[in-house]
Amino acid sequence: MPAFFNRLRNRLRTTLAPVPDIPAGLWLQTLQRHPFLAALDLPEQGKLRALSALFLDGKQFHGAHGLQVTDAMAIDIAAQACLPLLHWGDPRAALGWYDDFVTIVVHPGEAIARRAHLDEAGVMHHYTEVLAGEAMERGPVMLSWQHVEDAGHSAQRGTNVVVHEFVHKLDMRSGSPNGCPPLPAGFLGTHSARAAHEAWWATWEPAYAQFREAVIKAERFGAPWPWLDAYGATSEAEFFAVACEAYFVNRQRFAQEFAGLVPVLDAFFRPAP
Ligand SMILES: [Zn+2]
């Protein structure tokens, strides 16, 4: 069937047919495995469950290297992927942020990506990169189950691979990821898209510069490592994704480390109704 009709069929199915509920037992287990989900209040958990059910209805999971993606695994991934959308009103509209792809590929362990880089002298360098996850612009999301499975524990360190990759997806809605997702009209009381971006970067640029400096001091000068994942120092897009991981899974510690970023992330992820 041509892709268009497939899409149309999916659209009809998702807009007209009722979406099956996530079974209560499986949902409870997902909450229990993830302290940052268990900590949500009951109305928030209800909203997240509805979002996750819609997400599962519209996405396809593919296990790589023979991995069987069970319902429990898919629900774990869906709940964490939907966490950033929790305060964006109507679930179907909120899930529109993820409507540019269908497939989520789950690897049992870390995935090895072959990369090539052309240097300034015109020499091509081939190397491999070990990945816990990857998000492709207008394409699928890849996750390593080994890392997804660890989410309950790694929340202590403020890390979460699912949030990381899906926040890249949000960032990519305005083109190549640059650490600034599309901002809503009136963001932080601004009156133009330009002013909204200026308000965003006025907070993020100094925070990123300061974090990079802290990582460089740790790497080269023996200073203590910062709490936030040092991978965030590789680019502004990664800093945004890494900061969001911590914001969603360990807000208390994140607020101690990056008090200035909390109001900006709240303005984006928890807009006033
Ligand atoms: Zn990343």
What's the rounded mean pLDDT across residues 10-36? 83
169 C-alpha to ligand 1 centroid (Å): 10
232 C-alpha to ligand 1 centroid (Å): 8
pLDDT score for 16? 57
Q: Is the dihedral of CA 221, 223, 224, 225 positive or negative?
A: negative
The tens digit of pLDDT for each residue in 24-43 reads 999 999 999 999 999 999 99
The tens digit of pLDDT for each residue in 94-107 reads 999 999 999 999 99
pLDDT band of 51, cuts 50, 70, 90: very high
114 C-alpha to ligand 1 centroid (Å): 16
CB 125 within 8 A of CB 114: no
130 C-alpha to ligand 1 centroid (Å): 12
What's the rounded mean pLDDT across residues 57-76? 97
pLDDT band of 14, cuts 50, 70, 90: low
242 C-alpha to ligand 1 centroid (Å): 7
CB 121 within 8 A of CB 113: no
The model's pTM: 0.90
Domains of the chain: 1-165 (1.10.472.150), 178-273 (3.40.390)
160 C-alpha to ligand 1 centroid (Å): 11
20 C-alpha to ligand 1 centroid (Å): 32
204 C-alpha to ligand 1 centroid (Å): 17
Calpha distance 141→164 (Å, rounded):
11
Q: Give, in order, the Cα–Cα distances in Å from 14 to each of 88, 99, 204.
A: 19, 12, 37
Neighbours of 252 (CB within 10 A): 7
SS3 201: helix
pLDDT(201) > 50: yes
Amino acid (one-letter) located at 109: G
SS3 151: helix
3-class SS string, 219-261: HHHCCCCCCCCHHHHCCHHHHHHHHHHHHHHCHHHHHHHCCCH
